[in-house]
Chains A and B, each alone.
Chain A
Amino acid sequence: MATRGFVGRRPAQRDPRLPPGQYDTGDDWPVLTAEVTPRLDPDRWTLTVDGLVGNEHTWSWADLHALPQSEYRGDIHCVTTWSKLDTRFGGVSVDLLLEAVEPKPEAAFVLATSTTGYTTNLPLAEITDGKAWIVWTHEGRPLPREHGGPVRLLVPRLYFWKSAKWVTRLTLMEHDKQGFWERNGYHDLGDPWLEQRYQGD
C-alpha cells in the first residue's frame, strides 16, 4: 500500500550493495544490545566449540592469535535497517576452528553463546566455507566494547544479531534451537537479501 504523500529521501541511484529496506549509515555504527555491556578480560576469556564434534576444543585468546589470521572486508546489515558498507574486520576464519573439532556428519545447526548468556542460532552451512569469522579488530583497531569487544562472531551474510558479541561457545547440533532474539520473534535464518527479519518472513 502506498503511503499518501510519502516520497522518501532516496539517493538518485540506490547503492546496489544495500539489501531491500536498508539504508547506508555511513561512518556511524549504531549499537544494538539487549544487555549490559560486559567488561571482558581477554586473558580470562576462552572460546569452546562443542556439541556434535569428534574433538571438542577450547581456545584461549593467545591460542586464537597464534592461528593464521584472516580478514573480512565488505558490508554488514542490521535488522533495525541500517547497513554499514565496505568495512573491515580482522580475526580468524571459523573454518579453522571447525577443522580442528571435526564436526560429526549429523551436525547441521549451531548455537552461538556469549559470556552474557546471549544466544543465537544459525545453520552450520552459514558459518562454513569462508562465511564466518571470530574477530577482534575493526578497521585495524581493537574491536570496541560496545560492538562486542574484545571478541565477537562475524557472519556478515546474515542480519547482524547473528554475529554474537562476546562469543564464548559454538555448539554444533543436529536440530535447530532458537536463540535469544529468535525466541522473541526474529527469524531463524535472517538473510537480509530476502528481508527475513521476523519469524514467518
Chain B
Amino acid sequence: MTERAPAGGWRTAVVREVAHPTPRSVVLRLEVPDRVDHLPGQHYVIRLTADDGYRAQRSYSLASPPSDPLLEFWIERLDDGEVSTFLADGVEPGDELDVRGPIGGWFVWDGAGPACGVAGGSGAVPLVSMLRHARDVGRTDLLRLAVSARTLADLPYPDELAAAGALFAVTREPHGERPAGRLTAAELTPLLVPDAPVYVCGSAAFAEGASDLLMAAGVPAERVRVERFGPSG
C-alpha cells in the first residue's frame, strides 16, 4: 500500500480553461500555485463559498498527469448536483476556486508496473490520468483499460481512450461491431495480467458488478482497488 503525505491545506486555484465536451459535462483546467505533485488516480476537493459563508464541497478525480502544468478535471453535470451544476454553468476563465489535494494513496498508479483499469462512466477520469502518465513515461504497454457507459456520450475522453486501445462496453447502443450490452468476464479476461493490480472506478453499482466479474475471472480480492462514486452531486 502506497503511503502519501497529507495534502496540506486549502489553496486558491485560478480557472484557466473551461470546455464543455458534451452538454452534461465540463472540463476545468486550473492553475494552482505551489501545488503538491499528484499521482495518477488521486483526487482533489473543490469548495464553493457563498457571500454569507455557506459552503459546499465535492471530490473530483484528476484527469491530468503529474507533468501537466495545470490540473484538469472532467466533471459530470448532475441535474440535482449543487456543486457540479455551478461548476458546469457558472465558472469562467479567471475565476478563483478553493481546492485541496491531492488526496488518496490507495487508488493510485505510479507507472512502474503493469495494471488494468476498469471504469464505468465518469469513473474513467482517473484512468485517463493514468493513461496520460503512461504516455509521458513511454510505457503505454503497461496499462490495459476497459470502460463502460450507457452511451458513448456518457464517457469522458472517448477519443483519447479509443486511441489508446481501451475496450469499450456500451450498454444501450451498439459500438462498432459490438452489440449493446454490459461488460462480460470474457471481455475482461484478456486484459488481466497475473499479479498486477486492477483499478475499478465508477458508481457503487458498477463497482459491485465489475468486482463480481473480476472474482469470476479468478482475480484475488486483494489485487482489486476500488473507487466508488456516490450520488454526491
Q: Which residues of A contact B163 (CB under 8 A)?
A: none
Docked-complex contact B106 and A34, CB < 8 angstroms: yes
Please tell me which stretch of A102-110, A135-143, A178-186 contacts chain B, meaning at least 4 of its Cβ atoms lie within 8 angstroms of it.
A178-186
Q: Which residues of A contact B3 (CB under 8 A)?
A: 183-184
Chain B interface main SS type: mixed
Docked-complex contact B204 and A146, CB < 8 angstroms: yes
Docked-complex contact A200 and B9, CB < 8 angstroms: yes
Interface size on A, residues (CB 8 A): 37
Output the least CB separation between B187 and chain A (Å): 19
Give the contacting residue for B232; candidates A6, A33, A80; CB below 8 A.
A80
Within 8 A of A (CB), among B165-218: 204, 207-208, 211, 214-215
Give the contacting residue for A31; candidates B58, B86, B230; CB below 8 A.
B230
With A3-B48, A30-B204, A184-B105 as contacts: A82 and B55 at CB distance below 8 Å: no
Output the least CB separation between B151 and chain A (Å): 24
- Number of cross-chain contacts by CB at 8 Å: 111
With A5-B90, A36-B224 as contacts: A184 and B4 at CB distance below 8 Å: yes
Q: Which residues of A contact B224 (CB under 8 A)?
A: 35-36
Docked-complex contact B231 and A30, CB < 8 angstroms: yes
Bound CA–CA A183/B108 (angstroms): 14
Output the least CB separation between A40 and chain B (Å): 12
Docked-complex contact B56 and A8, CB < 8 angstroms: yes
Q: A196 near B: Cβ within 8 Å?
A: no
Given contacts A6-B86, A28-B231, A80-B232, 15 further A-B contacts (CB under 8 A): A1-B12, A3-B95, A6-B48, A20-B55, A23-B56, A23-B82, A31-B230, A35-B221, A81-B57, A82-B230, A146-B204, A180-B106, A183-B1, A184-B3, A198-B7
**Could you list which residues of chain B lie within 8 angstroms of chain A, going by C-beta atoms?**
1, 3-9, 12, 48-51, 54-59, 82, 86, 90, 95-98, 100, 103-107, 204, 207-208, 211, 214-215, 221-222, 224-228, 230-232
**Could you list which residues of chain A lie within 8 angstroms of chain B, going by C-beta atoms?**
1-10, 20-21, 23, 25, 28, 30-38, 80-82, 116-117, 146, 180, 183-185, 198-200
Could you give 11 example pairs across A and B, Cβ below 8 Å?
A3-B49, A8-B55, A21-B57, A30-B204, A31-B204, A36-B214, A36-B224, A80-B230, A82-B230, A184-B4, A200-B6
